[in-house]
Amino acid sequence: MTWIIIISSGISTFISRFSFFFLPNKFFLPKWAVNLLSYVPTAVLSSIIISNVMLDTSGDIFIYFNEKLYASIIAILISLIFNNIFMTILVGMMSMWFLNYII
């Protein structure tokens, strides 16, 4: 029974995700729906980042002595100043390691 559920879940997930490649181009979303869907990546990414940076393992907001928060602020500043993704990742990771070492 467990294998039937696992296999059927896999097949249904595959069909639902792969079907968009084979749908005819007759299906168009209204302009308001396309406009609303443009905010989805920002909202999802923001919630993932904020929950990983601001929350500790028990789910409480963790601000003081939070090396992830300080490294994120440093990475945001580097991103705004230099507009270079490689430098942002490099400086963000280096600051995270350094802050993790001293805090």
Decide if pLDDT at 19 tops 80.
Answer: no
pLDDT digits (tens, 9 = 90+) for 32-83: 998 998 999 999 999 999 989 998 888 888 888 899 999 999 999 999 999 9
CA angle 100, 64, 49 (to 5 degrees): 70
What are the φ and ψ backbone dihedral angles of 77, each rounded to 5 degrees? Answer: -65, -45
Confidence of residue 97 (pLDDT cuts 50, 70, 90): very high
Domain count across the chain: 1
Which domain range does residue 18 map to?
A: 2-102
Structure tokens at 30: 């209204």
pLDDT of residue 25: 66
Q: Is there a contact between 51 and 36 (Cβ–Cβ < 8 Å)?
A: no
